[in-house]
Amino acid sequence: MATLILHGGAGRIDDARVDAYERGLRAALDEGWLLLDHGADALDAVVAAVATMEANPDAFNAGVGSSPTRDGTVECDACVMDGRDGRSGAVAVVTRARSPVALARRVMEHSPHVLIAGAGADALVSEPIDNAELLTPYARAQLERWRARRSPPTGSATVGAVALDHHGALAAATSTGGVLGQWPGRIGDAPIPGAGTYADVHVAISCTGKGEAFLRAVTAKALAERLAAGTALDAALARALADVAAMGGSGGLIVALADGGLAWAFDTERLALAWRAGAAATTREHVAVVTSPSVVSVSAASLP
């Protein structure tokens, strides 16, 4: 039994880009699932799935195609967390990495630290690229529209993945370009373990939405604690969104459970979502940009 659930951001997604989002989600799902299917760890699967979305120039706000700051530079944040032992690695304000999530994993595995930001993070990139390579024509146009205040920003944000592997381990990964037009140096919830990304032996969580509100609500860890205290999954998810709303934000979350169950919840216009779950030969899956704000859980018992 394995589970892989991905998000490609909560928020507004242009109608014209919905197909590209769904194609991108499916490609990432296939990439991560292939690993899980071959017995790889949940950590490998979530990093592969997120890296696939980061590399996609046609959809998502992470890696290539990230939303730029108000100065026009791209600053990326990413985090990985291994539920087996609580190890975590993260980078913030990284400007020269093609795959911020791979860099976050590197911090976890090859440094004594959890979170490295700015020039220090860029110095760890093995093949640094020019920042302009991360800025797509679409993202540049979005910035121009934002600067001209002719329309509110569209294009959803952050990508994330959570997984349960065949060995029973959970992991989470999140990667983002942040918020369109953000101040240079601004860091949201995505690279902060316990806020936008969290995994332990019971649950793995990745969030998307207004990072300031998710940070203040310490969303992912608060959700994990409520579940550990026995709150029902749907009620705990609704409470997580309510807590974010109370802090002035909106967004979405994806959840994988140690028993094989999975869930998502969002209160924005749209959520780009994909999941596959089940045993090796038979799986259930769903790939869509979903449009009705909701709290949905899929129990392990209902999966093949």
Per CB under 6 A, which of residues 179..208 are in contact with ligand ASP?
A: 179, 188-190, 196, 208
CB atoms within 10 A of CB 144: 11
Are the C-beta atoms of residues 237 and 295 closer than 8 Å to each other? yes
Among 2, 8, 11, 49, binds ligand ASP (CB under 6 A): 11
Q: Which is nearer to ligand ASP, 90 or 179 (CB)?
A: 179
User: Which one of 24, 178, 193, 260 is in contact with ligand ASP (CB under 6 A)?
Assistant: 178
Among 52, 56, 66, 158, indicate the residue that binds ligand ASP (CB under 6 A): 158
Based on the shown chain and the rule CB under 6 A, indicate whether residue 176 belongs to the binding site for ligand ASP: yes
Spatial separation of the C-alpha atoms in residues 100 and 105, rounded to whole Å: 9
Q: How are beta strands 159-164 and 2-11 bridged, if at all?
A: antiparallel
Strands (E), the chain: 2-11, 76-82, 87-94, 115-117, 159-164, 170-176, 197-199, 203-209, 251-257, 262-266, 270-278, 283-290, 294-298
52 binds ligand ASP (CB under 6 A): no
Spatial neighbors of 55 by CB under 8 A, at least 6 apart, are 63, 64, 98, 99
Known catalytic residue: 158? yes
Nearest distance, CB of residue 183 and ligand ASP, angstroms:
12
Q: Please, which residue, 99 or 176, has the CB nearer to ligand ASP?
A: 176
Nearer Cβ to ligand ASP (40/80):
80
Half-sphere CA count of 77, side-chain side, radius 13 A = 28
Among 53, 115, 157, 257, binds ligand ASP (CB under 6 A): 157
Residue 8's closest CA among 23, 20, 25? 25
Work out whether 223 is an interface residue with ligand ASP (CB under 6 A). no
Q: How far apart are CA 263 and CA 253, in angstroms?
A: 8
Q: How far is the CB of 112 from ligand ASP (least distance, A)?
A: 26
Torsion of CA 286, 289, 291, 294, to 10 degrees: 50
Q: Is 209 in the site for ligand ASP (CB under 6 A)?
A: yes
- Of 178 and 261, nearer to ligand ASP (C-beta) is 178
Q: Which of 3, 69, 95, 158 is catalytic?
A: 158
Q: Write the single-letter amino acid at 70.
A: R
Q: Measured from the CB atom, is 52 or 61 closer to ligand ASP?
A: 61
Is 211 a binder of ligand ASP (CB under 6 A)? yes
The site for ligand ASP (CB under 6 A) is made up of: 9, 11, 157-158, 176, 178-179, 188-190, 196, 208-209, 211
Residues annotated as catalytic (active site), given as ranges: 158
